[in-house]
């Protein structure tokens, strides 16, 4: 499974990596939440992937290895929604966020029962 975002910027414009970085965050967040639902674990209203990973660790200790990915992805949940002091991600930061999301999603995918995986 690959989370690929093919992005084309109009000629003469400066690329803005905020939307695709936010999409990588959302994909990873939804994957962890889906895992928690599958395991019957409740979770509060949050977009903080670090908190969700901590919750997932209760039924799958291997999630402890994904805290760094969660720390990389979590800021994209809301940091750019509101005016303020922030530095927009560049292509390299976006690539790192995308890779973190892809790897986390692949890990979660590997934990799913085979009957669910066949439909993906």
Q: What is the DSSP letter of 63?
A: G
Could you say which of 1.20.120, 1.10.3470, 3.40.50, 3.90.660 is the CATH number of the domain covering 18-114?
A: 1.20.120
Q: What is the DSSP letter of 28?
A: H
What pLDDT digit, counting tens, does each position of 50-71 carry?
A: 999 999 999 999 999 999 999 9
Output Rg (C-alpha) for the chain, integer angstroms: 15
Distance, in Å, from the CA atom of 58 to the CA atom of 76, rounded to the nearest integer, reads 25
Query: What pTM was estimated for this model as a whole?
Result: 0.79
What pLDDT digit, counting tens, does each position of 5-61 carry?
A: 555 555 665 656 566 677 888 899 999 999 999 999 999 999 999 999 999 999 999
Residues 6+ apart with CB under 8 A from 4: none
Distance, in Å, from the CA atom of 18 to the CA atom of 93, rounded to the nearest integer, reads 10
């Amino acid at each position: 499974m690959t989370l690929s975002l093919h992005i084309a910027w109009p000629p003469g414009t400066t690329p803005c990596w905020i939307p695709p970085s936010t999409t990588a965050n959302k994909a990873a967040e939804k994957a962890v939440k889906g895992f928690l639902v599958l395991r019957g674990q409740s979770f509060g209203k949050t977009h903080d992937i670090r908190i969700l990973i901590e919750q997932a660790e209760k039924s799958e200790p291997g999630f402890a290895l994904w805290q760094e990915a969660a720390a990389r992805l979590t800021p994209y949940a809301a940091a750019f929604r509101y005016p303020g002091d922030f530095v927009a991600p560049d292509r390299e930061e976006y690539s790192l966020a995308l890779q973190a999301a892809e790897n986390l999603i692949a890990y979660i995918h590997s934990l799913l029962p085979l009957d669910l995986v066949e439909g993906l």
